Structure formats: C-alpha cells, structure tokens
Amino acid sequence: MSAPSKETPKPVEQHRADVGHIGKSVVIRGELTGNEDLYLDGEVEGNINLRDHKLVIGPNGKIKANITARDVVIHGRVEGNVNTSERVELKRACTLIGDVATQRIAIEDGAFFKGAIDVKEPKEARPEVRKPVASAPVVSPASSVANSGPSLSAGAGSQGSFLEPK
C-alpha cells in the first residue's frame, strides 16, 4: 500500500544559493527592485521590478503589486498586473487577479485567474544567450501556452420573470 501523496506545493527553487529569499513574516510596502532571482514568501504592496530575473512567489506570498520580471512563478496570491519577457507559471491553488503579458504561460489545473492574458510574440528570432546581468532579453523560439498541470485538469427556481417583456 503506497503512502498518500502530500498536497503541499514544493517550492524547489527556494534553496538555491544564488536566489534571494524573503520569508513569510516579512512585509514590504513600496518599490522592490533587484538584480538577482528572488523567492518571495511574504507580503508586498507596491511594485516589484526584477527586470531580467526570475521571481517565485511562495505559497504564503500575498502580493498587491504590479510585477515586472523575466519569469514569474506563482504559488500564492497576486493582485496586480504581471509583465514578463519570457514565462509565467500559475501553480495549482494559486490566485492571480490582474492582467498578464508574456511570451509563454503555463497554468496548472486548480489555479484561479481573473484578468486578461496577452501572449506576446518574440521580438526577433536569435540564439538563446544568457548573461549574469543581462540587458538583452532572451528570446524563446515560439509563443505558446502550456498546461503543465496534472491530468487536464435543485429544484427549479422561479422563471416567470424571463417571459415578461421589459
């Protein structure tokens, strides 16, 4: 008999040494900018700008901010617009209320999204080059949306009012 699988999401990126980490007890109000990848499990109100880096919002993350980054992965809750040069991932049980502009988006079943999704075309097709502090955006071969999630994700009331002319 196999052991039951755990339901909690696994923020695998958080333990990498080159990733900044903001814990769940931290509350930030204002502008958050950086030049490195960031794992954010706290609360932020304001704006987040990581330009060419990756932002992972942990399951305890509560963000009320517009986000600009290269990649954004959301496990927690975000209210605000998300603008990435490459990829957005909405994980199971996350909430995103806001508009998304990105080249690629992956949404797991169970994610809640309210807003608009605009999939941008790559600006130019050229080989992928990444620098530590890159100024040139990395271009992916094609814009696409992927489902990375598991699998694929009374009595009749009164209706007379619909018969009446207005």
Partner 1 sequence: MSSGHNFMRWFRGAAHPSAKPSEKATAAPRTTRRCIGLGEFMKDLRGSESRKLCVLDLGPTSPANITFLTDRHMRVYNEDILRCAKEPAVLTRQNDGLERIDLDKFFAENLAYPDGHFDAILCWDAADYLPEELVKPVVEKLHALLKPQGTLLAFFHTKDAGPDSPYCHYHIVQPDTLELEEGPGFRLQRIFNNRHIENLFRDFASRKFFLGRDNIREVIIVR
Please work out the total of residues on this chain that contact partner 1, with binding judged by CB under 8 A. 41
Piece of the chain touching partner 1 by CB under 8 A; list 13-21, 30-38, 125-133, 147-155: 147-155
Which whole-number Å values give the CA distances from 151 to 55, 77, 147, 165, in the listed order? Answer: 26, 23, 9, 46
Q: How far is the CB of 95 from partner 1 (least distance, A)?
A: 10
Question: With respect to partner 1, which residue has the nearer C-beta, 25 or 161?
Answer: 161
Question: With respect to partner 1, which residue has the nearer C-beta, 17 or 142?
Answer: 142
Backbone region of residue 17 per phi and psi (left: phi > 0; alpha: psi in -120 to 50; beta: other values) = alpha
CA distance 110 to 149: 8
Question: With respect to partner 1, which residue has the nearer C-beta, 45 or 99?
Answer: 99
CA distance 151 to 135: 38
Q: What are phi and psi of 29, to 5 degrees?
A: -120, 120
Residue 8 as a binder of partner 1 (CB under 8 A): the answer is no
Select from 128, 116, 100, 58 the least CA-distant residue to 44: 58
The site string for partner 1 over 78-117 (x = CB under 8 A, - otherwise) reads ------------x--------------xxxxx-xxxxxxx
Residues that bind partner 1 (CB under 8 A): 2, 4-5, 90, 105-109, 111-119, 121, 143-147, 149-159, 161-166
